[in-house]
Amino acid sequence: MDDECYPKTLYVGNLSREVTEILILQLFTQIGPCKSCKMITEHTSNDPYCFVEFFEHRDAASALASMNGRKILGKEVKVNWATTPSCQKKDTSNHFHVFVGDLSPEISTEDIKSAFAPFGKISDARVVKDMATGKSKGYGFVSFYNKLVRFRCNNSD
């Protein structure tokens, strides 16, 4: 198994304001060695959250299974995978990108792929989702291998 192709970073959300990086590392290193912990607290209206990176996928998977739903300082935490492994990501930096906004909440990545397929070969498409809730943020991106040719719609009454 090529461990680089499997995620190693977890999102840990719904944290109490008293939780620290040190506490998270103490709890999660009991499951397996952690490479890092990054606490995000600057959003004053939202609960803090953090990202815990493990050295090994199997330890991250064990932590996900054992820590999701556990109470830390009186709050039930939410633990999910935080990232797509780098070997599964497509390098679209030289491709042509389109921002797609004002999407209805029920629009999926497959929906925007289908809608934009007639305009060229798509290299990547995604609806952006809130990491905590999994719900659409109402926008997304479509990447094309080639630059789109401008087209004009003529409406006649």
pLDDT band (50, 70, 90) for residue 150: low
Render pLDDT for 60-117 as a digit per residue (tens, 0 to 9): 999 999 999 999 999 999 999 886 555 555 566 677 888 888 999 899 989 999 999 9
DSSP H or E run through 26? helix 21-28
pTM of the model: 0.55
3-state secondary structure of 28: helix
The fold of the 90-144 domain, in CATH, is Alpha-Beta Plaits (3.30.70)
pLDDT reading at 7 higher than 80? yes
**CA 124 – CA 109 distance, rounded (Å):** 10
Same fold, 3-86 and 90-144: yes
H-run or E-run covering 27: helix 21-28
| Fold assignment, 3-86 | Alpha-Beta Plaits (3.30.70)
Q: Would you kindly state where each structural domain of the chain is located, as residue ranges?
A: 3-86, 90-144
Convert 37-85 into a string of H (helix), E (strand) and C (coil).
EEEECCCCCCCCEEEEEECCHHHHHHHHHHHCCCEECCEECEEEECCCC
